[in-house]
A and B are shown apart, each in its own frame.
Chain A
Amino acid sequence: MSEMVKLTIDGKEVEVPAGELIIKAAQDHGTYIPRFCWHPRMEPVGMCRMCLVEVETPRGRGLVTACTQRVADGVLVDTKSDMVKKAQEGVLEFLLINHPLDCPVCDRGGECPLQDQTLSHGPGESRFVEEKRHFEKPIPISDLVMLDRERCILCARCTRFCDEISGDPLIEFIDRGNYTQVNTFPDEPFASYFSGNTVQICPVGALTATPYRFRARPWDLEAVESTCTMCSVGCRVSVQASQNQVLRLLAVDSEPVSHGWLCDKGRFGYEYLRSPARLAAPLVRGEDGELHEASWGDALATAASGIKDVIDRHGPSAVAGLGGARSTNEEAYAFGKLLRSVIGTGSLDARIGDAIDPVLLATGESRALIGDLETAKTVLVWGPDLKEELPVLYLRVRRAASALGATLIVIHPRSTGLDREATHVVRYRPGEGAALLDRLGKGEGDLAAVRAALDEGPVVAIIGRGGLTEAPGLASAVAAFVAGLPGASILPVARRGNVHGAIDMGVAPGLLPGRVAADQAGRDTLGEAWGTPVPAPGRDADGIIEGLADGSVRALIMLGTDPAADHPHRARATTAITAAEFVVSLDLFVTDSNRGADVILPVEAFSEVEGTVTNIEGRVQKVNRVAPGTGQSRPAVEVLGDLASRLGGSLGGPADALAKEIAEVAPAYREITWDGLAWGEGRDGLVAAAPDGGLPIPEPGELTGPPVAGMALHLGRVLYDAGTMVTAGPSLEKVMATPAAHLHPDDASRLGVTEGIAVTVKSRSGEAVIPAIIDSSLAPGTVYVPFNFGLDIGADPGVEVVPVTGGEP
Chain B
Amino acid sequence: MTEQILTTRMDAHPSDSHTLARYEQTGGYAALRKALGMKPEAIAEEVKASNIAGRGGAGFPTGVKWGFLAPSTPRYLVINADESEPGTFKDRQLLERDPHQLVEGIVISSFALGVNHAFVYVRGEYPRPARRIQAALEEARDAGYLGDDILGSGFSLDVTVHLGAGAYICGEETALLNSLEGRRGEPRIKPPIPAVEGLYAQPTIVNNVETISNIPWIITNGGAAYDAIGPEGSRGTRLFSVSGHVERPGNYEIVMGMTWRNLIHDLGGGIRGGKELKCWIPGGASAPWLVPDNLDEPITVQACARLGTMLGSGGIVVMDETTNVVAAALSLVRFFAHESCGKGTPCREGATWLERILERILHGEGRRSDLDLLLDVSDNISPGLRWPPAMTTICPLGPSAVSPITSIMTHFRHEVAAMVSGEVPAGV
Give A contacts to B, CB under 8 Å: 44-50, 52, 62-63, 65, 68, 83, 86-87, 89-91, 93-95, 97-98, 127-128, 130, 153-154, 173, 175-180
Contacts and interface: CB of A to CB of B under 8 A. Distances in A.
Interface stretch (B55-63, B88-96, B264-272, B387-395): B387-395
Contact of A94 (B345, B369, B390): B345
A47 B390 CA distance: 16
Contacts of A180: 341-343, 348
B349 interface: yes
Given A86-B380, A87-B383, A91-B392, A154 B353 contact: no
Contact of B348 (A68, A89, A128, A177): A177
A52 B344 CA distance: 12
B189 A87 contact: no
B391 A95 contact: no
A94 B380 contact: yes
B125 interface: no
B167 A94 contact: no
A97 B342 contact: no
Contacts of B348: 94, 154, 177-178, 180
A412 to B, nearest CB: 30
Interface stretch (B79-87, B209-217, B332-340): B332-340
Nearest to B167: A176
**Which of B189, B338, B379, B381 lies at the interface centre, i.e. has the most chain A CB atoms within 10 A of its CB?**
B189
B349 A97 contact: yes
B390 A130 contact: no
Contact of B342 (A65, A94, A154): A154
Contacts of A45: 189
B389 to A, nearest CB: 11
Interface string B241-266: 00000000000000000000000000
Contact of A176 (B189, B342, B346, B393): B342
B352 interface: yes
B338 A91 contact: no
A94 B383 contact: no
A128 B381 CA distance: 16
B314 interface: no
A45, A91, A128, A176: residue with the most chain B Cβ atoms closer than 10 Å: A176
B181 to A, nearest CB: 14
B184 interface: yes
Contact of B380 (A68, A93, A128, A176): A93
A68 B342 contact: no
Contacts of B338: 177
Which of A47, A83, A87 has the most chain B CB atoms closer than 10 A to its own CB?
A47
A63 B381 CA distance: 12
A87 B380 contact: yes
Interface of B: 167, 184, 189, 337-346, 348-353, 356, 360, 369, 373, 379-381, 383, 390-394
12 contacts: A47-B344, A47-B345, A62-B390, A94-B346, A154-B348, A176-B342, A177-B339, A177-B352, A178-B342, A178-B348, A180-B342, A180-B348
Given A94-B349, A95-B349, A49 B340 contact: no
A173 B344 CA distance: 13
A95 B352 contact: no
Contacts of A63: 383, 390-392
B340 A94 contact: no
B366 to A, nearest CB: 11
B396 to A, nearest CB: 14
A127 B350 CA distance: 12
What 4 A-B pairs have minimum CB-CB distances, sorted nearest first? A90-B380, A180-B342, A94-B349, A177-B340
A468 to B, nearest CB: 42
Contacts of A48: 345
Most A CB atoms within 10 A — which of B337, B343, B345?
A: B345
Nearest to B367: A129
Contacts of B381: 90
B346 A90 contact: yes
A150 to B, nearest CB: 13
Contacts of B369: 127
A91 B356 contact: no
B345 A91 contact: yes
Nearest to A37: B345
A95 B341 contact: no
A87 B379 CA distance: 9
A136 B34 CA distance: 63
B342 A173 contact: yes
Contacts of B351: 177-178
A133 to B, nearest CB: 8
A68 B189 contact: yes
A46 B174 CA distance: 14
A178 B184 CA distance: 15
A47 B392 contact: no
B390 A177 contact: no
A91 B353 contact: no
A177 B342 contact: yes
A49 B392 contact: yes
A46 B380 CA distance: 17
Contacts of A65: 189
A153 B349 CA distance: 10
A47 B343 contact: yes
Contacts of A130: 353, 356, 360
Given A154-B348, A177-B339, A49 B189 contact: no
A58 to B, nearest CB: 15
Contacts of B380: 86-87, 89-91, 93-94
A44 B189 contact: yes
Contacts of B383: 63, 83, 86-87
Contacts of B344: 47, 49
A99 to B, nearest CB: 10
Contacts of B390: 62-63
A153 B189 contact: no
Given A46-B189, A173-B184, A97 B353 contact: yes
B394 A47 contact: yes
A711 B341 CA distance: 55
B341 A177 contact: yes
Nearest to A65: B189
Contact of A46 (B339, B346, B394): B394
A128 B356 CA distance: 10
Contacts of A89: 380
A180 B373 CA distance: 25
Contacts of B379: 86, 90
A52 B379 CA distance: 14
A391 B189 CA distance: 32
A52 B392 contact: yes
A176 B346 CA distance: 14
A164 to B, nearest CB: 14
Given A49-B392, A62-B390, A87-B392, A95 B342 contact: no
A50 B380 CA distance: 12
Nearest to B190: A68
A210 to B, nearest CB: 27
A89 B345 CA distance: 12
Given A44-B189, A87-B380, A91-B380, A176 B340 contact: yes
A91 B398 CA distance: 13
B108 to A, nearest CB: 32
A176 B392 contact: no
Given A44-B189, A178-B349, A179-B342, 17 more contacts: A45-B189, A46-B189, A49-B394, A86-B379, A90-B379, A91-B392, A94-B346, A98-B349, A130-B353, A154-B345, A176-B167, A176-B342, A177-B340, A177-B341, A178-B348, A178-B352, A180-B341
A573 B360 CA distance: 77
Contact of A49 (B184, B346, B373): B346
A273 B407 CA distance: 65
A347 B163 CA distance: 72
A44 B380 CA distance: 22
A352 to B, nearest CB: 48
A180 B185 CA distance: 12
A296 B352 CA distance: 69
